[in-house]
Chain A
Amino acid sequence: MQLLEPRATPSKLMQWAAPPIAICLTLVVGAVLFWSLGVSPPKAFYVFFIEPLETSNGWSELVLKASPLILIAQGLALGFRARIYNIGAEGQLLMGAIFASAVAIWTDGSTAWWVLPAMVLAGALGGGLWGALPAWLKTHFNAEETLTTLMLTYVATFFLSWLVSVPWRDPGGSNFPQSIMFGDAALFTPLFEGLRINTSVYITIAAVVIFQIFVSRSFTAFQLAVGGQAPAAARYAGFSARKAVWLSLIISGLTAGIAGAGEVAGPIGQLTLSLSPGYGYAAIIVAWVGRLHPLGIVLSGFLMAMIYIGGDAGQVSLQLPSAITGLFQGMLLFFLLGADAFVNYRIKRRKVVQLNKVAA
């Protein structure tokens, strides 16, 4: 059953080739899946990946979905490099959205310029706090951050459901669990007339630049990477493991929180139960498929956004179940992890020696 043997040095080629290989394998299995559902694969791929981009609205939606994914994944990737697995970005996103909404609801009617910036800051604060909590639990009580971040996501969900059902429920909203619609001062400005894409994408663009510089050149990022690859070496060098935990979880919480603020102050315009289609989870895959690299994440973020949009289009045009999106996401991560094995390992060579023996 042992298929692999270690390579002497990691393969540079496979480091670059693994994501494209994973994408191809996902498409191949996807084609089989479409075919078995009685949809011709070329038609399905057309509906999923090409048709949505034939309109400017399609592009607008693509960027609108890619933006939060990229933003969250930047933060997550930083932690993943340090092997600190924040899998509760969804909860941090919700908390960010809640904090941002608090600002919008309390300043309702105001037209002051600072409402929107305050919402973004509040979102960062909410997400950051929701990330700091597991960091505190990890550094002081040694509690696994994988489990605590995830549990806190459930807690955030119930907190949100209470808020929109009880104190913040829109009295004029025919009893739906949702807040009032926010005023213009609490919304990002659309970039183009009639499209949903808005100025929040500038935040993501800025974040990509900052993360790129930070990851490639900063001493802190180097410390995080050492801590992830060889914890004993980090201790030996005197890099603080606690600092790594705090930094990773707060930064990833922060980006997720800002993304949450971007949703409520953007396409949604109010606080609702269904404000995220699982961006926090999908961003985990985005981070991995993007090689935990700030620019790679941009590419994988767009890919993931395509899968979301394609899933919607497939549901409308082909009556395919919307859950197909999750299926594609899971497969993509599976194949990537599999392809990744070949960075450090290679297929065990069978005994070529037998031939030599005959020759000798």
Chain B
Amino acid sequence: MALGYAVLLIISVSVLFGLLYWNTAVFVAEQTEETIEVEISGLAEHYQKAGLVGLSEVIQERSRGQRLSLYLLTDPNRRPLAGNLNSWPTASMPGDWIDFEYQRPIGSRIVEHRAHARHFVLPGGYNLLVGYDVQDQVRLERRMRGSMIWIGALALFLGLGGGLLMARHWLRRIDNVNKTAREIMDGDMSRRVELSGSDDELDRLARNLNAMLDRIEALMAGLRQVTDNIAHDLRSPLNRLRSRLEVTMMEDPDKGVYRTALVDTMREADELLKTFNALLLIGEAESGLDWSKLESVDLSTQTNDVAELYEPAAEDAGIKLRAEITPDILVRGNPNLISQAIVNLLDNALKYTPSGERVLISVGIDSAGDAYFEIADSGPGIPESEHENVLNRFVRLEGSRSTVGSGLGLSLVAAVAKLHQARLMLKDNKPGLAVRMSFPRLMSA
């Protein structure tokens, strides 16, 4: 990772600097040629006005002193006539641009300089060379090349170093995630991955991990709640059962007494099993949240079947059970659990509705577009102020249950609602109670 980062940095620095170098060199070279062109047009003017002699004089004039412009006028045999160059520097054709080295006196020393020049031929075969000392340009280019090596080295160093630092930074953050994972595996479920606050990919990963951990923790808490409840709901009746057996054995051996005790014990065991099964089912609904395993369920048919199952029992109890069911309403769910929730609610409603009253079971679509089933009785109802409490008791699997029936039954309803992402609502039926479960509606495919 550090190496990759360094290579990338070096490549970008090289490209940047290469462009800069090339542009500068081209610009300076163009400037030089422009200067030479200006000189040439000046000299051409003199030649036209004053001929070869005039031109020669001007050249002699301009050649004095330390100017950077270079001139050489020769006869057709390239013997120098005027100018500040001693001899024709290199073979060339008329019109050529040429580059050459020449000896330039600087103070008392003679130094070799580079020059750029153009070759002209005048009428009569006279040759004219007009040029410019480009030693400064050469030096600039040389310096730029030198800098480039240094900058390259620096980029390599910074790239590697910076890359290493950055890699260490990321590795530290990943290690932070690992550390949290280890702590969680060691049993501290409350640990969460720290966020850096930068909202980058790693932060988002950490946030998702944390959300997942929250979910797992909630499921574990739910499971613990279920086991606690199982312990509570089973311990007391088991204790009762054991005490009965113990006390029976203390008494005088008598076949009749033994038989009664056994019958009672068996009945108690049956109740225990019922409780146990109910708790397991609640546990399944509470923690077995496998949304993908849920199927399309016809809520209308399910509800209708339950109503039909209970209709004779209701009639026997003197209660009028009426069903108002909108057909073909589909929800996503587990048909067995949904049926059981409806059964439990209906069971409860029939239990609390006095003879001669009515119970209405309905299925429909509410104003929000959700599918619902509702069971409304005209029994004693529950005061509005208590609705919240009752719902909480539904949800929290309140431990204080004296009879197996209602408490567990309603807890199961709450668990089923939770599993189906359904809302459970209590309403005053004036008189009586209406319990409604609304599901996200599933449009038929």
B and A form one assembly: no
Using a CB–CB cutoff of 8 Å, the interface residues on chain B facing chain A are none
